[in-house]
Amino acid sequence: MKKFLAKPLSFVKKNPVLTISFFAALITCFFVPIDKEYIDYFDFKTLTCLFCVLAVVCALKNINFFYVLARKIVELFRTARLAILALVYITFIGSMLIANDMALLTFLPLGYFVLHRTHKEEYMAFTFIMQNIAANLGGMLTPFGNPQNLYLYSKFNIPTGEFTLIMLPPFLLSVLLITLCCIVFVKPEGLRLSGKKIYLSRRRTSIYLALFALAILIVFRGIPYWVGLLIIPAAIGVLDFKALKSVDYGLLFTFVFFFIFSGNMSRIEVVRELFMWLLEKNTLLVSVTSCQVISNVPTAILLSQFTENYADLLVGVNIGGVGTLIASLASLITFREYNRVSPGKTLKYIVEFSLFNFGFLIILTSFMMLLKEF
């Protein structure tokens, strides 16, 4: 019996959000039986854009593109404070370009490598936490920086300029807070980074960057999404089939299940009336609070069914990504990676994680509430 349950339990531990989304969708199916309206739940453009971006990022990761880029930046700095700032900024910028979860999967190992090789392991938890916050908050400025952004940008057809203006104030405050934390909590100690250099394939790098540009054009509605669905998987399949296998399909299926969950919830009269009433009171606070319980991506999908106030919803599901460990899928990725490289220090990490994350959450939420008053 134990052997029979071992694999399912292991899968659940590795994919908690996916598992929750599956059962959430399944339960709502008992209240809203499957019918022809289910097909309208799915935003196929969002799913296609997300798949294309993730596929190209996996291909770039496999040729060590991000590692080489990050290493070159880190080599410019010679103190622990500046190196950690560089690591956090790289993650921050990376989340704007390749989505927060992929930025963490790419740059957390680099953070470990730098601190381990320079014997600065005492900063490991702090660095991982700052990288996590940077990934969640850095991605807020671009439509493809966070999965929930991609969904809301597509669902409400938000103009790109308006999207940027909505997210600019919390983005700038986040940059300031992250920078201050790194300056205050990291000493300017000298360090040296050793290790062999890795050289990139010019041909593959050029092709993958062109495919990435194509994926971005699709996100910005410059090209029909079906064009990317034909070209990008075909090209990557020929050049690096492993990259297609490495795509985070769990994230894609999480979206699918929450599309079903939110679609069904919107058809339950009592639920619809409750959420509409709450969102009329304060969309920002409701979305921030919801993120702490069911994570930011499902919050975006669910609440978007009950409000047209996409500005406050957009801000809420982005700053709401900090806080609890389950407020963002990215936070669970960071927690998993930290446990892997620093086993036995889980409690210390959770305490430190909570202090910084709730500190950021309170400051950002208060700032945006005050900003709305003016």
In angstroms, rounded to a whole number, what is the distance separating the alpha carbons of residues 18 and 252? 9
What is the per-residue pLDDT across 257-295, written as a single tens digit (0 to 9) for each? Answer: 888 887 888 788 887 788 888 888 899 999 999 899 878
Confidence of residue 333 (pLDDT cuts 50, 70, 90): confident
Angle value at C-alpha 124, between 121 and 129, nearest 5 degrees:
170
pLDDT at 41: 83
Q: Is residue 7 domain-resident?
A: no
Range of the domain at 106: 22-373
**What local confidence, expressed as pLDDT, does residue 360 receive?**
97
Q: Note the residue count of the chain.
A: 374
- CA separation for the pair 108, 66 (Å, rounded): 11
Q: How does residue 181 score in pLDDT terms, banded at 50, 70 and 90?
A: very high
- Asked whether residue 197 carries a pLDDT value surpassing 80, the answer given is no
Predicted local distance difference test score (pLDDT) of residue 194: 61
Higher pLDDT, 372 or 152: 152
Instruction: Decide if 6 is inside a domain.
Output: no
Tell whether 355 is covered by a domain: yes
In a domain, 5, yes or no: no
pLDDT of residue 221: 65
Q: What percent of the chain has pLDDT over 70?
A: 96
Contact present, 327 and 296 (Cβ < 8 Å): yes
Tell me if 262 is assigned to some domain: yes
* pLDDT score at 5: 67
Q: Tokens at residue 142, please?
A: 């671009």
pLDDT in tens, 21-73: 888 889 989 999 999 989 988 878 778 877 888 888 889 888 888 777 767 76
pLDDT of residue 2: 62
Indicate whether 288 belongs to any domain: yes
Q: Which of 120, 103, 116 is nearest to 53 (CA)?
A: 103
* Number of independent structural domains in the chain: 1
> Counting Cβ atoms within 10 Å, is residue 182 exposed (0-12), middle (13-18) or buried (19+)?
buried
pLDDT reported for residue 341: 82
> Could you tell me which of 65, 63, 51 has the C-alpha nearest to residue 239?
63
- Is the pLDDT at 223 greater than 90? The verdict is no
Distance CA 209, CA 195 (A): 26
Q: Which of 5-9, 19-23, 148-152, 161-165 has the lowest mean pLDDT?
A: 5-9
Angstrom distance (rounded) from CA 232 to CA 235: 5
Gap between the Cα atoms of 366 and 177, Å rounded = 14
Q: What is the pLDDT of residues 169-179, one digit of tens each?
A: 999 999 999 99
Mean pLDDT of 332-357: 87
Rg over CA atoms, the chain: 21
Is 69 inside any structural domain?
Answer: yes
Buried b (16+ CB within 10 A) or exposed e, 75-107: eebeebbbbbbbbbbbbbbbbbbbbbbbbbbbb
Query: Cα–Cα–Cα angle for 346, 350, 353, nearest 5°?
Result: 135
Q: Tell me, what amino acid is at 364?
A: L
The answer to whether residue 16 is domain-embedded is no
